[in-house]
Amino acid sequence: METREKLYRTAMELFAKRGYFETTTEDITEAADVGQGTFFNYFPTKSHVLLALSEKQLGKVRAAAQEATKPGIPVYEVFHRFIHDIVEELARSQALARSLLTIFVSQEDVRTLMGNTLSQGREGLARICEIAQKRGEIRRDRKAADLAMTLQRNVLGTLLIWTMQSKADLHAWLDKTLEDFWEIAEAKKH
């Protein structure tokens, strides 16, 4: 495993077990069995580990947008796979999701990074919506960017509420979230 990926995976595991704030760079390097200097070769600060998460999330958006261009794959299916893929890291544990959501909104540099990630992600989702509009799968009387924002808000809201419900099934909730979104977005057949 590449060292950067090993450090990233180890950090995410520790964030899930202990929480972001309770995990030190020393904890990460000890668990990854590398020197602390090695950590700083890849990540200038602990919060930069979240940049790797951001890169992975944007890769998932790009993959979904690419998949949407393939004929024969309904956009509903693309969105279904996408919303489950995009929460993959956070769905590992509610504690991890709570910890990361807290850091996303409480530290200015991370908040800026995640705001940019969300913006870029929304642009990718809007491209998918545009493809669906051209195919007649999604209504054309709404801007693709507005539909993308609606889907993004709904998925993030679902994730946030899930972190507060101890017995909740995130994937079942995401399925319902997509059904609700699709009810709003789907092109109605006359």
- CATH fold of 3-44 reads Arc Repressor Mutant, subunit A (1.10.10)
With b for 16 or more beta-carbon neighbours within 10 A and e for fewer, the 136-157 pattern comes to ebbeeeeebeebbebbbebbbe
Q: Could you read off the pLDDT of 52-81 as tens digits, one per residue?
A: 888 899 999 999 999 999 989 999 999 999
Q: Do domains 3-44 and 47-185 have the same CATH topology?
A: no
What are the domain boundaries of the chain?
3-44, 47-185
Q: Is the pLDDT of residue 190 over 70?
A: no
SS3 content of the chain, % helix, strand, coil (to 5): 75, 0, 25
Q: Which tokens in the block code for residue 170?
A: 């995130």
CB-side neighbour CA atoms (13 Å) of 141: 4
Q: How confident is the model at residue 167 (pLDDT cuts 50, 70, 90)?
A: confident
Q: Is the pLDDT of residue 48 over 90?
A: no
- The mean predicted confidence, pLDDT, of the chain is 92
**In the predicted model, what is the mean pLDDT of residues 127-155?**
96
User: In a 3-state reduction of DSSP, which class is residue 43?
Assistant: coil
Quote the pLDDT of residue 1: 59
Q: Is the overall model pTM greater than 0.85, yes or no?
A: yes
**In the predicted model, what is the mean pLDDT of residues 134-163?**
96
Check if the beta carbon of residue 107 is closer than 8 Å to that of residue 47: yes
Quote the pLDDT of residue 78: 98
Q: How confident is the model at residue 9 (pLDDT cuts 50, 70, 90)?
A: very high
Q: Could you read off the pLDDT of 82-138 as tens digits, one per residue?
A: 999 999 988 888 888 888 888 888 888 888 888 999 999 999 999 999 999 999 999
The correct answer on CATH 3.40.640.10 for the domain covering 47-185 is no
